Structure 1
Amino acid sequence: MCPCGGCKPVAYAGQVSDANPSEESTAPQPGTSPGRRLARNLALYTLARLVLVVILTAVIMAGAWAVSVQVPMIVAILFAIVIAMPLSLTLFKGLRGQVNSDIAAVDERRRRDKAQLRARLRGEAEPAGSAGTEPGESGRGKSGKPPKGAAEGEESGGTGGAA
C-alpha cells in the first residue's frame, strides 16, 4: 500500500506474487527485461556521477578554506563538474559498460520488433500458432503477391477491369 492508504497493489500481466509488497526486494532479479536493467543501471551511474561532483565540490571548498582563500560555491561546483567528467570515465568504467550493453540490448530488441512489425504489415510473417491466411489476404499467398495469372492491381475472381 502507498502512504496515502487509498491505493491498491496492481498485478501486471505475467506478474504473480504472494509476498507482501513491502517485503519484496526492490533490486531487480537477473531475469528482468533489458529496459528495466537499463533504467536501474543508468540511474545508478547518474547518481554515482552526482555524488562524485558533490565530493569534489566539498574537497575544493575544504582546500580553499585550508589555504584561507575565498572560492564562490558556483566556481567550486563548476570545477568539480569539469574534474568529474574524465574521472567518472575511469572510476565507473564497469557501470558505464553495463549501461552501454543494456542500451545495445534495448536497441537490438527495438530493431527486431520494428522488423517484425514491418514484415507483418507487408504480410510476410505469419503469427505463431495461427493456421491459414490472415484477414485481408484473400487471393494472396504467403508472399503477399497475387496468384499467378492475376495481373498487377487485379484481385483473383475480379472482372479484370482497373480498380
Structure 2
Amino acid sequence: MCACGGSKPVAYAGQVSDANPFEESTAPQPGTSPGRRLARNLALYTLARLVLVVLLTAVIMAGAWVLSVEVPLIVAILFAIVIAMPLSLTLFKGLRGQVNSDIAAVDERRREDKAQLRARLRGDADPAGSGETEPGTSGKPPKDAGEGEEPGGTGGTA
C-alpha cells in the first residue's frame, strides 16, 4: 500500500532492477557469456596448435638425429609450422567449430546491441518488438511540453 492511502504497490530498491531488462540480460555470468567462451576456446585452440608445432619440431629434430643429418632448429620450426597448418584443421576440427560458433554468437550480440543503440538514438523504445516498454506507453518522450497535459489545462493556448 502506498503512502497516499491507495492500494497501489510501491517499488522498493530491490525491485528497481526488474524495470530494466537490459541490465539483467547484459550482466556477465562467469563462464556463460559468449565473449568469455570465445576467449577460452580461442586460447585452447591456439595452445593446441602451438603444442602441435612443438611436437612436430621435436619429431623433425629426432628424425634428423637418427639419420645423422644436421638440421638447424629454425628450419625444423618452419617445417613444423607448415606441416601443422593443414594438420590442425583435421586434428582440432571440433575446437575450431566451437570457436567459429562463439565468433558468430559474439557477432550477433554486437549486431543486436548496435541496432538497439541506433533505435535509442532515433528515439524508438523497442526496435525488435520485444515489449521492453511499460504497457500503455510508447517509450518516446513527449515532443512538446503541452502534449502530455489534459484538455483544458493551463499549458496550452485557447
Shorter-normalised TM range: 0.5 to 0.7
CA spacing shift, 1:36–1:15, aligned 2, 3 Å: closer
SS at match of 2:76: helix
SS at match of 2:103: helix
Runs of 4+ in 1 over 4 A off after TM superposition: 13-16, 129-135
In structure 2, runs of 5+ residues without a counterpart are: 1-25, 145-155
Query: Structure 1 CA distance, aligned partners of 2:108 and 2:28?
Result: 24
In structure 1, runs of 5+ residues without a counterpart are: 1-12, 17-27, 140-156, 158-163
CA shift for structure 1 position 61:
0.1
Query: Structure 2 CA distance, aligned partners of 1:38 and 1:132?
Result: 37
1:22-69 per-residue CA deviation (whole Å, 9 max, x = no partner) reads xxxxxx65xx00000000000000000000000000000000000000
Query: Structure 1 CA distance, aligned partners of 2:70 and 2:62?
Result: 11
Q: TM-score, normalised by structure 1?
A: 0.63
Q: Number of aligned pairs?
A: 115
CA shift for structure 1 position 123:
1.0
CA spacing shift, 1:119–1:129, aligned 2, 3 Å: closer
Q: 1:94 — aligned with what?
A: 94
**RMSD (Å) for aligned C-alpha atoms:** 2.6
Q: Is the 8 A contact 2:38 2:103 kept in 1?
A: yes
SS at match of 1:74: helix
Query: Structure 2 CA distance, aligned partners of 1:67 and 1:125?
Result: 73
For the pair 1:83 / 2:88, whether they are aligned, the reply is no
Q: 2:48 — aligned with what?
A: 48
Q: 1:128 — aligned with what?
A: 132
